[in-house]
Amino acid sequence: MNELLIKIGEQIYLVIISVSVAILIGIPLAVVITRCKKLEKFTLGFIGVLQTIPSLAMLAFFIPLFGIGVVPALIALSIYSLLPIVRNAYIGILNVPSDMIEAANGMGLTSWQRLRLVEIPLAMPTIIAGVRTAAILSVGVATLAAFVGAGGLGDFINRGLAVNDNHLILMGAIPAAILALSLDGLIGAFEKWIKPGASKQGSKKNKLLIFASSFLFVVGLFGWFVISEVKYNSGKVVVVGSKNFSEQYLLADMIAILIKENTDLKVQKKLNLGATSLIHQALVRGDIDLYPEYTGTAYSGILHAKQKKGARQIYYSVKKFYQKKYDLLWLKPLGFENKAALAVTRKSANQYGLRNISDLPKVPRLSIGAPAEFVERPDSYLSLVNTYGLKFDEINQMDPGLAYEALANNKVNVIMAFSTDGRVKKFNLVLLDDNRNGFPAYQAAIVVRNQTLKKYPELNSELNKLSGNISDEDIMELNYETDVLGRSHKDVAREFLLKKGLI
Amino acid sequence: MIELINVSKTYDNGLNYSVRDISLQLADGETFVLIGSSGSGKTTILKMLNRLISPSGGEIYIDGKNIRELDKVKLRRSMGYVFQGVGLFPNMNISENISLIMKLGDAKKKLCRDKSAELLETVNLEPGKYLDRFPCELSGGEQQRVGVARALVNNPKYLLMDEPFGALDAINRDALQEELIRLRDRLNTTIVFVTHDILEAKKLGDQIAVMHSGELMQVGSFDELSTCPSNNFVKRLIESAQQSQL
Ligand SMILES: Nc1ncnc2c1ncn2[C@@H]1O[C@H](COP(=O)(O)OP(=O)(O)O)[C@@H](O)[C@H]1O
Ligand SMILES: [Mg+2]
């Protein structure tokens, strides 16, 4: 419950700040284009084009420029809020009746006075309608901010998708919907309230007071954000990152607990940094200090290497490359491999006699459910085609969480799964043996910035305690505990560390 | 004194004249009526006087100064303007509407309110009742009166009025006309008054300028116009007044 409140707070914060920024930029911009019509087509067109960029693409685009966290999310959200605000303000000001403009001019108002006292007040209902649209829109888009580590209700949705938990998804989606509705209502009430003559006698002071306090509120939010950012960035803080799936949360929690218990460093977690390129950027930029990665993923995704190699060679190529190119250190492997694997239901395994991947051609109409990365990454799809001569009749891009459901519901007959996934156990699936080594090795290990190790030498020995200490069986069991039994990652992680005598 | 010398206004690259080659002299303290049917260029002339429209040709002098050389905002604030459509601002109450220009000149709130109350009384509206109302809560006639009050706020030497009583019923119009006459005599304001009603012109005008499709037909007192009308148009106009008075 406490966490829910925090996430709602973060969501509100993202929406309010970004809409405020959009207002501060958008309304002056609208004024400029009403005064200088030549700019109108270009400006509205340009903002319109920005609006059509898919939100995730925009967020991803900002990572190299602004890193991860609240900043890129706020920038993207502000950009999305800009169009309705600028467009409405523009239309509102343009539609102020010409006799009002004439009266203002004829009485001798300067153009600034005319804008302030006549045009803006008369355009206000239209302007507020624009703000309303922007606010509702950005509540929705802000759930995506979780992908760049900005928090908010999207964290629940992300996590829910990662561990296939509908309750978690709803815990993010329902408050977001309620938030959108209440913002809509609130702004509507505000609009009625500022209407001229709506409430008289001494109301001016009240209105001023409310305007002032909401202004202070926004400034306060902003200040709080700046202070908390500064606080995190100063002091002895280690930022632990993770991708957006359950095993990563678990490993991040383990690392965080280990550091907290055994050193006097503070730890901040930035979870849910989805794609490999994204979290890698974050590490290179120093937005995070370390995260658990898999050798095979780095080998193909970062090194873009295609050559087949054994597990040890892959580890050393990756380590060398990271050291030289990025000044990042791969610690010794943790001990388990999270390999890509193909899974089928037990029923079809029995029906077609499937044990190895090479048996798959026996299945008529092969339809696979796999993450979007699958087709693009040379180590997955192409490797399967080349090694086993597999042909898929249908490739369905889906989130890992959804793929299991799809397989259980016979929507697809094979999925790309991960060898350590607790859900393999839950859905009683059969992992096909990679008998011809079609998938590269995926040893898990912690990648850490050399600068961080230099700054906090005590980290080195702590992090290395995990090396070689988590076996395939261990991780499958831990994943089962969290994903299938629904226990919290923190508890499971702590329990494991205690059992191993590491804390 | 206001002087227009060969003033023209064209639109569409000089193809259409809305006002053509007008020369006029308005003496201080007189009420100068511009009369003509709709589209004859009356509003255009009025707007040129406070630079809402700039002439395409000719010069305008006010108190000996070419208005091209005057600051627009200062010029406008020194003249009262009653707009053809009244043009009260719906987002301000009556007091704020009337005293807007004072407030922009940094007058104190109390002073603004007192002045608004005084002007409301001048146009025969009870201040206590109207000061805090909004324009949408007033009848058309009441709005017209507020429009006049607003134009008087800076004690202007010149008052430009564009068909100010056009939308009123006969009784209200009569009352306001009387009001205006009293006001003019008290304040010694020079008034440029636009109307299409010859009776109104007769009642108010020291001088009457007859306009027809952008051109000036004749200027003179009502008596001068009726004794020697310069053309048929003026003659018919005067006759229509004499008929309706019978
Ligand atoms: N902005 C404009 N563009 C083109 N023609 C105009 C414009 N403003 C006024 N006119 C024309 O000028 C003529 C005189 O208009 P106006 O001075 O408003 O007439 P009045 O006030 O006597 O009814 C009309 O024929 C009108 O159509
Ligand atoms: Mg007119």
Q: What are the residue ranges spanned by the domains of chain B?
A: 2-244
Q: Does the pLDDT value for residue B240 go beyond 90?
A: no
What are the residue ranges in chain A where pLDDT is below 50? 201
* Residue showing tokens 């980290």: A459
Which pLDDT score, from 0 to 100, does residue A311 have?
A: 87
**How large is the average pLDDT for residues B121-130?**
91
Which pLDDT score, from 0 to 100, does residue A232 have?
A: 61
The mean pLDDT of chain B is 92
Superfamily classification of domain A340-431: Osmoprotection protein (prox); domain 2 (3.40.190.120)
CB half-sphere exposure, A76, CA atoms < 13 A: 32
- Note whether A197 contacts B137, CB cutoff 8 Å: yes
Tell me if A2-232 shares its fold with A340-431.
Answer: no
Do B45 and B63 meet the contact criterion of CB atoms below 8 Å apart?
no
CATH topology of domain A237-337+442-499: D-Maltodextrin-Binding Protein; domain 2 (3.40.190)
Q: Does the pLDDT value for residue B20 go beyond 80?
A: yes
In this structure, the strands spanning B57-62 and B2-11 are antiparallel
Percent of chain B with pLDDT over 70: 99
- Note whether B83 contacts A196, CB cutoff 8 Å: no
CATH architecture of B2-244: 3-Layer(aba) Sandwich (3.40)
For residue B164, give how far its alpha carbon lies from the nearest alpha carbon of chain A (Å). Answer: 14
Phi and psi (nearest 5°) for B169? -75, 165
Percent of chain B with pLDDT over 90: 77
B50 CA from centroid of ligand 1 (Å): 16
Which pLDDT score, from 0 to 100, does residue B159 have?
A: 95
Q: Which two tokens stand for residue A134?
A: 């922007």
As a whole number of angstroms, the distance between CA A470 and CA A250 comes to 12
Which pLDDT score, from 0 to 100, does residue B64 have?
A: 93
Q: What is the pLDDT of residues A218-239, one digit of tens each?
A: 788 777 777 766 666 667 889 9
The atom number, within ligand 1, closest to the CA of B34 reads 22
Q: Is the CB of B42 under 6 A from ligand 1?
A: yes
Please give the order of strands across the beta sheet that includes B215-220: B79-82, B158-162, B190-195, B31-35, B207-212, B215-220
* Interface contact B50, partner A, CB < 8 A: yes
DSSP 3-state of A311: helix
Nearest CA to ligand 1 atom 16: B41
Q: Does the pLDDT value for residue B134 go beyond 50?
A: yes
Nearest CA to ligand 1 atom 3: B11
A87 CA from centroid of ligand 2 (Å): 34
Q: What is the pLDDT of residues A104-155, one digit of tens each?
A: 999 999 999 999 999 999 999 999 999 999 999 999 999 988 888 788 898 8
Q: Does the pLDDT value for residue B83 go beyond 70?
A: yes
Q: Which residue of B has its CA nearest to A105?
A: B52
Which pLDDT score, from 0 to 100, does residue A90 have?
A: 95
Q: Which helix (H) or strand (E) holds A475?
A: helix A472-479
As a whole number of angstroms, the distance between CA B120 and CA B237 comes to 35
Which pLDDT score, from 0 to 100, does residue A210 have?
A: 78
Q: Which helix (H) or strand (E) holds B4?
A: strand B2-11
For residue B174, give how far its alpha carbon lies from the nearest alpha carbon of chain A (Å). Answer: 25
Provide the CATH number for the domain formed by A2-232 in this structure: 1.10.3720.10
- Note whether B134 contacts A197, CB cutoff 8 Å: yes
Q: What angle do CA A489, A493, A499 make, to 5 degrees?
A: 150
B160 CA from centroid of ligand 1 (Å): 17
* Interface contact B100, partner A, CB < 8 A: yes
* Residue showing tokens 């993010």: A172
Q: Is the CB of B41 under 6 A from ligand 1?
A: yes
Q: Is the CB of B85 under 6 A from ligand 1?
A: no
**How large is the average pLDDT for residues B99-107?**
91
Q: Is the CB of B93 under 6 A from ligand 1?
A: no
Which pLDDT score, from 0 to 100, does residue A201 have?
A: 47
Q: Domain-by-domain residue ranges, chain A?
A: 2-232, 237-337+442-499, 340-431
